[in-house]
Amino acid sequence: MAEPQNYAELQACLLAWLDDSAANINPAECIGLAERRLTRLLNVPEMEATTTLNAGAGMIDLPPDFREVRECTLNTSPRITLEASAPATLRMLFPSSQAGRPLAYAISGSSLLLGPSPDGSYTIQLVYKQAIPALSEASPTNWLLLKHPDLYVAASLAMAEFRGWNDARLPMLKAWYDELIQEVNDAGQRIRHAAGPIRMRALVTDASGTLPQGMTR
């Protein structure tokens, strides 16, 4: 069977790999469980999203697919990177009676807390790790299935194995699954931190060969 590229093909591929008429396996359930675990384990650039939040109060609703903060910036001139804090620390440093330009943030449940509470209308640019978009009949594909169908198959099969379909193969399948996760994460890190060799540039001088004021060779 060719590599699956959509939800229906992934379900068919999963059933073909199982090849066990006695197995009471729901492929949609296995795929959903796999997506939840992959969201927790993968850390790649494709999972990063950017959104703008209106910050007129000290508590802001986070996007439904939010998982972790990558960067939280106040859209002022100049832009200010807000400091991460624990909710208790934020409340201690910035009492509810204190208002001003936000300097820090904390995550509490599905909300972004700001300290101090905004004294006006601000906007925040939030870069965050988002959940893997769930496959469904209405949304039959996503970036992970298109780029790494082998990982989707292995992750879904692992969920089927945990249901007791074929316990003897579970260690081998889990090792394959874990290896694929590491490979995809490593590839993501190479993309995120890719850089060419460092090159030394010649210092710029004026016509007389004199360096700009304050610079030395």
pLDDT digit of tens for each residue in the chain (217 aa)? 578 999 999 999 998 888 765 567 889 999 999 999 999 999 999 999 999 999 989 999 999 999 999 999 999 999 999 999 999 999 999 998 889 999 999 999 999 999 999 999 999 999 999 999 999 999 999 999 999 999 999 999 888 877 765 667 777 888 888 899 999 999 988 987 774 444 544 443 344 444 334 434 4
Helix (H/G/I), strand (E/B), else coil: 206: coil
User: Which contacts qualify for 95-103: CB closer than 8 Å, 24 or more apart?
Assistant: 96/58, 101/74, 101/76, 102/55, 102/74
Q: Between the CA of residue 136 and those of 5, 9, 47, 200, what are the distances in Å?
A: 13, 12, 19, 52
Helix (H/G/I), strand (E/B), else coil: 50: strand
pTM: 0.78
What single DSSP character describes residue 136?
-
Beta strands in 7-116 (DSSP E): 48-55, 59-61, 66-74, 80-81, 83-84, 99-100, 104-108, 111-115
Q: What is the dihedral of CA 169, 174, 175, 180, to 10 degrees?
A: 130
CB neighbour burial string for 83-92, b if at least 16 within 10 angstroms, e if fewer? eebeeeebbe
Pairwise CA distance, residues 50 & 59, whole Å: 19
| Bridge partners of residue 216, in order along the sequence | none
Per the CB < 8 A criterion, the answer to whether 142 and 133 are in contact is: yes
